[in-house]
Amino acid sequence: MEPSALQARISFVRVKYLFLTWLAVLVGSWVLYGQYSTYSELCRGHECKTAICDKYKKGIIDGSACSSLCDKETLYMGRCLSTLPNNQVYTGSWGELDGTIRCRLGNTAPYELGEEPEPRREVPVFDKPTRGTSVEKFREMVFNHLKSKLGEQGNLASLVSQILFVADGNKDGRVSLPEARSTWALLQMDEVLLGLLLQDHGHTPRLLGFCGDLYMTEVVPYGPLYGLSLPWPLVAWVPSGVQRSMDQWFTPSWPRKAKISMGLLELVEDLFHGTYGSFLICDLAAAHFGYTDHHELRLTDTRAVIAEDEFRRVMRSRRCVTDADCVYGADCGTSCDTALRRCREEPTRPNLAKACVVLKEYLLRGVPVGLDEELERQLYACMALGGNAAAAGQMDMEHSLILNNLKALLWRQISHTKDS
């Protein structure tokens, strides 16, 4: 090859690599800028803390975590877990306690993540109860609020007392006006109310502290149910089939999965004609569940649960043409009365049937030899359960029988292991 031709080729190669290097830097910078923009939009913990502490220092709100957050600064926000700008979520540290901190922000432009933007939320003004409200009047406010959410329940008074005990953040034996305002703001969030209802049974993370509508719950070390959570930017890019396979790779051993599954069945049992009425789980996605070091199930997102009374009210007021118009959340629905063009009130499927769909995929993989046929038979019988208002008593008996049989079958397999 002639020297001139060789030099021309070398120059071409240099130009090509220079172009590729420039292109890589450009693309890398664009990706980094996009990640930074997304982070700064989604993660606004400093704004949350500033807004809360400003109201605390003005004497508008108070709570068990206010002094630690705003005065002593012993309550820290750690890694950002937010996927919506108005709903701030962080890992938290409070002395020796680890947990999850949640805070709401209002007046932000809707940020589209996936298909639906987050609805705009007004800034909480913490104007209730008003100055001069007595403790008895506040007790009545809480009682009426719970009644509107849960319906007529005989033991609402004891629940009100439990909530007032939580409201007394400094445990001085009385609920101050700022503490009452924080508690009232928390009770407007269904996920907090339902978390308080279910934490006595150990189904949800315990509430550790609050200040205004910022609150901290205990950490759930492992989640979701399968043990693998892809970062949200990757979820849209990884095919669902590949995600399911990856989920299965990261599940615990089968006896531990059986113990976690027992926890899900016990949750369903406690929601079915429970202490404060019946509740429906309207999204059984694995992402809403986690488990502890002892493989005890925790419902980490109580927004997936709704009181059955409230569900019926929503369905009563909904117009429809087909059954597809009578769906609530991902997993709750009724049928459409085409003559009246109104949704019926009766849920189509009970919690247990929906839970068994999840357990089928979770438990049948790696099941011990000799158990697979019996477990599969019971799970399919469970999945066939349906709601039938005309035969409610018979359905309740069938529900209880299937639930008890499944629990007994799983318990026989793990009762002799260290995981029990």
At residue 123, does pLDDT exceed 80?
no
Nearest one of 357, 308, 298, 352 to 328, comparing CA atoms: 308
Whether 7 is covered by a domain: the verdict is no
CA of 358: how far to CAs of 247, 331, 375, in Å?
Answer: 13, 12, 14
Per-residue model confidence (pLDDT) at position 222: 85
Q: What are phi and psi of 54, to 5 degrees?
A: -60, -45
The pLDDT score that the predictor gives to residue 167 is 93
For residues 209 and 216, the answer to whether their CB atoms sit within 8 Å is yes
Does 311 or 86 have the greater pLDDT score? 311
Same domain, 177 and 281: no
**What average pLDDT is seen over the chain?**
81
How many separate domains does the chain show?
A: 2
Q: 244 and 291: one domain?
A: yes
Asked whether residue 129 falls in the same domain as residue 64, the answer is yes
Answer whether residue 49 shows pLDDT above 90. yes
CB 160 within 8 Å of CB 108: no
- Separation CA 176–CA 174 (nearest Å): 6
Is the model's pLDDT at 109 over the cut of 90?
A: no
Which pLDDT band, with edges at 50, 70 and 90, does 141 fall under? very high
Tokens 């949350």 belong to 48
Report the share of the chain in percent with pLDDT over 70: 77
Q: Are residues 208 and 274 in the same domain?
A: no
Whole-prediction pTM: 0.78
Tokens found for residue 290 = 């986690």
Q: Are residues 73 and 192 in the same domain?
A: yes
Q: Which residues pair with 297 in a beta bridge?
A: 291
Residue 227 lies in a domain: no
Q: According to the model, what pLDDT value does residue 18 have?
A: 64
Of the given ranges (31-40, 232-241, 270-279), which has the lowest mean pLDDT?
31-40
CB 211 within 8 A of CB 62: yes
> Is residue 33 very low, low, confident or very high in pLDDT (cuts 50, 70, 90)?
very low
Lowest mean pLDDT among 111-120, 197-206, 329-338, 342-351: 111-120
Residue 6 has pLDDT above 60, yes or no: no
Range name among 284-288, 327-331, 358-362 with the lowest pLDDT average: 284-288
Q: Which of 193, 218, 243 is the last residue of a domain?
A: 218
Rounded mean pLDDT, 180-188:
93
φ/ψ of 337, rounded to 5, equals -85, 100
Q: What is the pLDDT of residue 288?
A: 87
pLDDT at 147 over 80: yes
Query: What pLDDT sits at residue 195?
Result: 87
Q: Using one digit for the tens of pLDDT, what is the confidence trace for 67-79?
A: 999 999 899 999 9
Claim to verify: residue 202 and residue 296 sit in the same structural domain: no
pLDDT of residue 39: 44
- Token pair recorded at residue 334: 């009724």
**307 φ/ψ angles, rounded to the nearest 5 degrees:** -65, 140
Gap between the Cα atoms of 308 and 156, Å rounded: 16
Q: Is the pLDDT of residue 343 over 80?
A: yes
Closest by CA position to 284, among listed 361, 375, 206 = 361
Query: For 369-381, what is each residue's pLDDT tens digit?
Result: 889 899 999 999 9
As beta bridge partners, residue 113 has 116
What is the per-residue pLDDT for 227?
60
Residue 309 has pLDDT above 50, yes or no: yes
Domain boundary among 218, 243, 261: 218
What confidence category does residue 413 fall into, taking pLDDT thresholds of 50, 70 and 90? confident
Residues 408 and 307 in one domain: yes
Strand boundaries in 186-300, DSSP class E = 207-211, 214-218, 279-281, 289-291, 297-299
The helix/strand/coil state of 6 is helix
Residue 226 lies in a domain: no
C-alpha–C-alpha distance, residues 61 and 120, integer Å: 23
Residues 252 and 175 in one domain: no
Question: For 17-21, 54-58, 303-307, 400-404, which range has the lowest pLDDT when averaged over its residues?
Answer: 17-21
- Answer with the residue of higher pLDDT: 36 or 144: 144
Answer whether residue 101 shows pLDDT above 90: yes
Q: Is residue 11 part of a domain?
A: no
Which one has a higher pLDDT value, 11 or 382?
382
Q: Do 183 and 250 belong to one domain?
A: no
Which pLDDT value is given to residue 117?
Answer: 40
CB 329 within 8 A of CB 282: yes
Structural domain boundaries, residue 236: 232-414
Determine the average pLDDT of the residues in 207-215.
Answer: 94
Residue 385 inside a domain? The answer is yes
> Looking at the structure, do residues 210 and 326 belong to the same domain, yes or no?
no
pLDDT of 333 over the 80 cut: yes
> Is 332 domain-assigned?
yes
Q: Which of 145-159, 227-241, 275-289 has the lowest mean pLDDT?
A: 227-241
| One domain, residues 141 and 258 | no
Residue 388, in any domain of the structure: yes
Rounded to whole angstroms, the Cα distance separating 35 from 124 reads 29
pLDDT at 35: 42
Question: For residue 290, what are the β-bridge partners?
Answer: 298
Same domain, 159 and 258: no
What is the average per-residue pLDDT within 157-169?
91
Give bridge partners of residue 76 from the DSSP assignment. 93
Q: Is residue 225 part of a domain?
A: no
At residue 361, does pLDDT exceed 60?
yes
